[in-house]
Amino acid sequence: MSLLALHNVACWRGGRLLFEGLNVELGAGEAMLVTGPNGTGKSSLLRLAAGLLRPLGGTVEVAPCALADERPALDPELPLARAIALWTPVGGDIPAALVATGLEALADVPVRLLSTGQLRRASLARVSLSAAPLWLLDEPANGLDTASLDLLTALVSRHIACGGAILAASHQPLGGAQWRTLELAR
Ligand SMILES: Nc1ncnc2c1ncn2[C@@H]1O[C@H](COP(=O)(O)OP(=O)(O)OP(=O)(O)O)[C@@H](O)[C@H]1O
């Protein structure tokens, strides 16, 4: 079953054509890494998949998805666990997700006090709790230290093993899956 299907997609942004004729198919248990130089449209592609951007042409079919990008999408004034809870469906195990992202000691700390790497991990915790089968990860390794990269690898591995799919944009290789690569060019 396809969790993401882009057919002949074109994207216009910032006054220029970023890409056209793009076809992507992601099924359960599949992961795709989007690479390419700055400004070639990696983040734009993820936003297209998330339904936050409209394609200039082509079609986008997508299963329920969760996006993690540079914006944490968490209320800065709330303690971390409560901010994440606003995104978590009933039954989501927030303490376990905080442990999986190494954030258990920060559950009561306001989001605005978290560091860059901690915020990135908080986004990953939010996504992992979303129950969405498709994860859209924009530079998920940015700002992560070595131990946190291992946590990211474990999260990816578990999601793929559970039949999820991941579309990630990254300038660095990611672990946890057999990544197919899509390279965007200028
Ligand atoms: N909100 C926006 N409004 C207009 N143009 C934008 C907007 N966001 C990005 N762009 C433009 O779209 C183009 C692609 O940007 P995008 O962020 O998708 O590239 P990227 O491949 O993810 O880059 P990077 O490797 O630097 O993260 C760039 O030329 C950028 O200026």
pLDDT digits (tens, 9 = 90+) for 102-156: 999 999 999 999 999 999 999 999 999 999 999 999 999 999 999 999 999 999 9
Atom of ligand 1 nearest to the CA of 47: 18
36 pLDDT band (50/70/90 cuts)? very high
Provide the pLDDT for residue 18. Answer: 97
* Contact call for residues 137 and 68 (beta carbons, < 8 A): yes
pLDDT digits (tens, 9 = 90+) for 58-115: 999 999 999 999 999 999 999 999 999 999 999 999 999 999 999 999 999 999 999 9
Per-residue pLDDT, averaged over 5-12, amounts to: 98
In a mutational test of the pocket of ligand 1, which residue from 43, 53, 136, 183 has the highest number of ligand atoms less than 8 Å from its CB?
43
164 pLDDT band (50/70/90 cuts)? very high
Residue nearest to atom 11 of ligand 1 (CA): 14
Provide the pLDDT for residue 108. Answer: 98
Ligand 1 center to 49 CA (angstroms) = 15
Helix 146-161, helix 116-129: angle, nearest 10: 10
Is the complex ipTM higher than 0.85?
yes
List, in sequence order, every beta strand (DSSP E) within the chain. 2-13, 16-27, 31-35, 57-62, 65-68, 134-138, 165-169, 179-183
Question: Does the pLDDT value for residue 186 go beyond 90?
Answer: no
* Contact call for residues 70 and 138 (beta carbons, < 8 A): yes
Provide the pLDDT for residue 1. Answer: 73
44 lines ligand 1 (CB under 6 A): yes
Per-residue pLDDT, averaged over 21-34, amounts to: 98
Question: Does the pLDDT value for residue 159 go beyond 90?
Answer: yes
Q: Which two tokens stand for residue 171?
A: 């300038």
Per-residue pLDDT, averaged over 44-50, amounts to: 98
Identify the residue whose tokens are 């998805």. 65
Alpha helices in the chain (DSSP H): 42-49, 80-85, 94-100, 116-129, 146-161
**pLDDT-above-70 percentage for the chain:** 100
